[in-house]
Amino acid sequence: MRFATTTVVALLALFHSADTANIRSQRATYGSTSTDRDTGDRRLFPYLTRLRDNVIERVFGQHPTKDSSQSSPIESISRQYANQVVLRFNITSPSEEAALSKATDRLFLDVWAFNHDFVDIRLHSDEVAPLISLLPRSLQLSYSTLVTDLAAAVYESVPSRNSERSITLEGVHADLSVRPGAGDNVFFQDYRSLSVIIRWMQLLEVMFPAFVEYTKIGQSWEGRDIPALRVGVSGQSSNSSPRKTIVITGGLHGREWISTSTVNYLAWSFITSFGKEPMITKLLVEFDIVFIPVVNPDGFEYTWNVDRLWRKSRQQTGLRYCRGMDLDHAFGYEWDSARHQTDPCSESYGGEQPFQAVEAEKLAEWARNQTLHNVNFVSLIDLHSYSQQVLFPYAYSCAIEPPNIENLTELAAGIAKSIRLASGESYSVASACEGAVSDEKDGETDFEQRIESGGGSAIDWFYHEMKAHFSYQIKLRDTGSYGFLLPREHIVPTGEEIFSAMKYFGDYLLGNNGIEKLLNEENGNGDDAATAAPNMELRRRNFRR
């Protein structure tokens, strides 16, 4: 049905292409809230014309004059993202969310972030007026522009090729003299390509063979390795009991570069802290941590070479020109609850059946195989961006709570507090089904129609199928100023605050008083003072169920 609609729209655009120039001159400005039918129809034609051009290029290829291979990076980016913006709509009711959900579906728009308070949408300037015309008046008056020039923002986020240096054993050895978190650790001064990341991971195994192992989870749709580092001193634990294991993933969505860099930062910090920090040393004796920085290598590579804002994998779907699947909607647990599953053009399309996405299937196969070899998964920490949230299962529904909900919420609150104490950044805490919960608000929690379904998520599958009962999705910086285009200057600060969160998390798993101990270390007080310190983070949270 959607394919037929798209075809008809494209044909309409072809018939009306001669009028485009005149229509563009009549287009209303961004802020207009008029719903006049004639004006609304005129506003749609620039959008239809662009859709026509996109369909023609997908079928027949680009015109030689548009071949980006002959263009400079600035020209290529400027053309690809020209006149695109990111808008934020403030949401105050379920009916507003339902209206915005229908409108974004109808216009095939890219939703960057959503929660109970706001929705961020990327779109072409020509699409602003058609979108506004489909919304109730309350939403027409409650939006702002987060990114006014997307092309410029993308260009600023692209790493300089001149800053790339060859990652060598000598270079990594030199970085060993730099404490974790120091800004002059060269590897974390910029975002790194997949080939550089893999070479760096392999060098870590060479340097720390006693407790670091480079491995592969499997291969992607296009045949790329899904690299991983297993860190832990398993030889010092009892061989008769299952090896407790934490999995930390990033890069399920190609454009979320900060998630990949943060997984790498965590791996580096844990490795270089072993033998120096007692808690981390003890944790790596009792637990293995598996770091998987790029679960979606095809999508990640595509963001480096073609489209910086590509989200999904690159797997072929039933519609030739709508490639890719959302890996975080492709896992088998409650897969049917994802209501966008039937639309391959949707950014949250999870396939025609569970685990159709190759990368999700490979991760699940690897996890199942590990359990057959004396591994006991206790946690999946799945890093994403953006919006600064700590989310716990279940993602698929707010009507069902996991059995250990109190432990999950308490630990999530402690994770958020450890971040705030480390960097001053505020991370909200919520069930993954909700997006985000404002602590002070009361009221309805289950919206009539959500912007994006949570069915088939990685944390739900690991929690339910692998019994990893301390699984979380953490959405990293920022809260919208940069979105997915977080500047390189945030790599180390983001890594540091999440490293603090993971130290608290590890301390909790070891059975210590995590938040009280953290407060004690922060304030330099004794045990009595730490115990007496009120846990305000937990007290003031009123989780809506």
pLDDT range class, residue 76, cuts 50, 70, 90: confident
Contact 330, 284 (CB under 8 A): no
Q: Which residues pair with 472 in a beta bridge?
A: 381
pLDDT per residue as tens digits for the range 331-388: 999 997 655 567 899 898 999 999 999 999 999 999 999 999 999 999 999 999 999 9
Range in 96-100, 124-128, 201-205, 383-387 the model is least confident about: 96-100
Full 3-state SS string of 146-179: EECCHHHHHHHHCCCHHHCCCCCHHHHHHHCCCC
Q: At residue 285, what is the residue type?
A: V
Angle at which helix 37-60 crosses helix 2-15, to 10 degrees, equals 100
Q: In this predicted structure, what is the pLDDT of residue 453?
A: 62
pLDDT of the residue at 450: 52
Q: Which of 179-183, 307-311, 395-399 has the lowest mean pLDDT?
A: 179-183
Phi-psi sector, 521: left (phi>0), alpha (psi -120 to 50), beta: alpha
* pLDDT tens-digit series, residues 492-521: 999 999 999 999 999 999 997 554 454 555
Q: Give the pLDDT of residue 177.
A: 58
Average pLDDT, integer, range 169-194: 73
| Residues 419, 501 contacting (CB under 8 angstroms) | yes
**Residue 78 pLDDT:** 81
Q: Which residue has the higher pLDDT, 166 or 491?
A: 491
- Residue-averaged pLDDT of the chain: 81
What angle, rounded to 10 degrees, do the helices at 194-207 and 297-305 form? 130
* pLDDT at residue 512 in the model: 78
Write down all domains in the chain, each with its CATH number in brackets: 2-157 (3.30.70.340), 161-539 (3.40.630.10)
**pLDDT given for residue 173 in this prediction:** 66
Q: pLDDT tier at 240 (50, 70, 90 boundaries)?
A: confident
For the chain, what's the residue count? 545
Rounded Cα distance between 153 and 64, Å, is: 27
* CA–CA separation, 88 and 81 (whole Å): 18
Residue 65, pLDDT above cutoff 50: no
Structure tokens given for 346: 């949707």
Residue 533: exposure state from Cβ atoms within 10 A (0-12, 13-18, ≥19)? middle
Please count the other Cβ atoms lying within 10 Å of the Cβ belonging to residue 461: 28
pLDDT for position 451: 56
Residues with Cβ within 8 Å of residue 510, at least 6 apart in sequence: 279, 282, 283, 286
| SS3 at position 71 | coil
Average pLDDT score over residue span 290-319: 97
Name which of 218, 454, 456 is nearest 331 in CA terms.
456
Report whether 130 contacts 43 (CB < 8 A). yes
pLDDT at 329: 94
Q: What is the structure's pLDDT at 185? A: 83
High-pLDDT (> 70) share of the chain, %: 70
Does position 54 have pLDDT exceeding 90, yes or no? no
Task: Give dist(CA 281, CA 510) in Å, integer.
Answer: 11
438-457 burial by CB neighbour count: b if 16+ within 10 A, else e? eeeeeeebebeebbbbbbbb
Cα–Cα distance for residue pair 27/121, rounded to 1 Å: 20
